[in-house]
Amino acid sequence: MMIRSVRTYSSSISNAAVFPSGSTVFSLIQPTGKIHLGNYLGALSNWRDISNDERNSESRFIFGTADLHALTSVTDPAKLKNSRREAIASLIAAGIDPERSIIYHQSSIAEHSQLSWILTCLTSMGALNRMTQWKSKAKVEETDSIFGDEILGKTKAGVLCYPVLQAADILLYKSTHVPVGDDQAQHLELCRNIASIFNSTYKSNFFPMPKSLFTANKKIMSLRSSEKKMSKSDVDQNGCLYITESPDQIAKKLRKATTDSIQGRLYFDPEERPGVSNLINIVSGLTRKSVEDTVKDLEYMRSHKQLKDLVTDLIVEEFKDQRLVYEELMKDVSYIDQIADRGAEKAKKIASVNMRAVEKLIGLD
């Protein structure tokens, strides 16, 4: 199947990050459900902008699904299989070009797991214990420690070792830049620590220190309760806007979005006006303008309704073509699988060369 309607951005987007020639830019997304607006503005749209930017033609881009990481939360095989395909379809629909970027599933390259074990042997339990993300997943306090009987009992080792696998993902391709949301800052810091432990243990300069590249867009919050991040597991599904929803559904969710009772001019103040500020953030993300410029653009507005209508229009417009491409792709998943297979072939070439070099360094050749 030929997908002709995918938008390709060959031109440069002025605020997209530009990388030194020869960079390897790497990121994965967990395939745990449908892609929502927060995922799109926080990851996919940025991946598209940087990888299609002509100024980055001398860099390598690798994107995919973290399906091994997803195993820490998804245990339904049919659901995992479908979510992986949905994620690849969303990447393609978003305009990430499989000719320019490698698009693949993490699990199709065995070297991820292999390197992960080697790095696990170099990572201290204390460092993993200091990570806060597994604590929120395990629903325990940030100050709690893995070394308590109750927590030891209810935490799977995979949840604790999750960031080591993430470090292996990044280092396997000797990545230099990793675009992520700021919730991943701690994992990236750990990745650099693991890389330097490896380098000093094996007296080499094998792994470059990967730089975190935080997306300019602020976190997108739930449309219904602005103190929570937009999430597919939100009990109030009106708070979560999926990128494949119809214009009617989008308009409906926006109408129901929580704002405030402050009249008159709309201004950005996440403390005092979290709902309005979240909508302003969405406008800023979709128009690729700074929050300040966005607020200036919105100066003429006097009502929440005007803002909600604008957000609705922008979202409908942004996803109009993407939705068609996505639906077409999901009708015949063989094209999606083909893209992922081709991506895996390219990824495998890099991964196997680097893995062989690692084996040599550690004495397993």
Tell me which residues touch ligand TRP (CB under 6 A): 26-28, 30, 66, 69, 166, 169-170, 178, 180, 184
For helices 185-201 and 157-172, what crossing angle results, to 10°?
70
Q: What angle do CA 216, 219, 223 make, to 5 degrees?
A: 135
Q: Whole-number minimum distance, CB 231 to ligand TRP, in Å?
A: 12
Residue nearest to ligand TRP (CB): 66
**3-state SS of the chain?**
CCCCCCCCCCCCCCCCCCCCCCCEEEEEECCCCCCEHHHHHHHHHHHHHHHHCHHHCCCEEEEEECHHHHCCCCCCHHHHHHHHHHHHHHHHHCCCCCCCEEEEEHHHCCHHHHHHHHHHCCCCHHHHHCCCHHHHHCCCCCCCCCCCHHHHHHCCHHHHHHHHHHHHHHHHCCCCEEEECHHHHHHHHHHHHHHHHHHHHCCCCCCCCCEEEECCCCCCECCCCCCCECCCCCCCHHHCCECCCCHHHHHHHHHCCCCCCCCCCCCCCCCCCHHHHHHHHHHHHHHCCCHHHHHHHCCCCCCHHHHHHHHHHHHHHHHHHHHHHHHHHHHCHHHHHHHHHHHHHHHHHHHHHHHHHHHHHHCCC
Q: Whole-number minimum distance, CB 30 to ligand TRP, in Å?
A: 5
Q: Whole-number minimum distance, CB 29 to ligand TRP, in Å?
A: 6
Q: Which residue's CB is nearer to ligand TRP, number 87 or number 266?
A: 87
Establish how many alpha carbons lie within 13 A of residue 292's alpha carbon, considering only the half-sphere containing its beta carbon. 0
Q: Of 34, 81, 137, 348, which one is the catalytic site residue?
A: 137
Q: Of 34, 79, 156, 229, which one is the catalytic site residue?
A: 229
Rounded Cα distance, 220 and 205, in Å: 38
Q: Which residue's CB is nearer to ligand TRP, number 174 or number 273?
A: 174
Q: Of 219, 232, 289, 348, which one is the catalytic site residue?
A: 232
Backbone angles phi, psi at 32, to 5 degrees: -115, 5
Q: Which residue's CB is nearer to ligand TRP, number 38 or number 275?
A: 38
Q: Whole-number minimum distance, CB 107 to ligand TRP, in Å?
A: 12
- For residue 362, what are its two tokens? 């550690």
Residue 232 falls in the annotated catalytic set:
yes
Residue 229 falls in the annotated catalytic set:
yes
Q: Whole-number minimum distance, CB 85 to ligand TRP, in Å?
A: 18
Residue 137 falls in the annotated catalytic set:
yes
Supply the residues annotated as catalytic.
Answer: 137, 229, 232
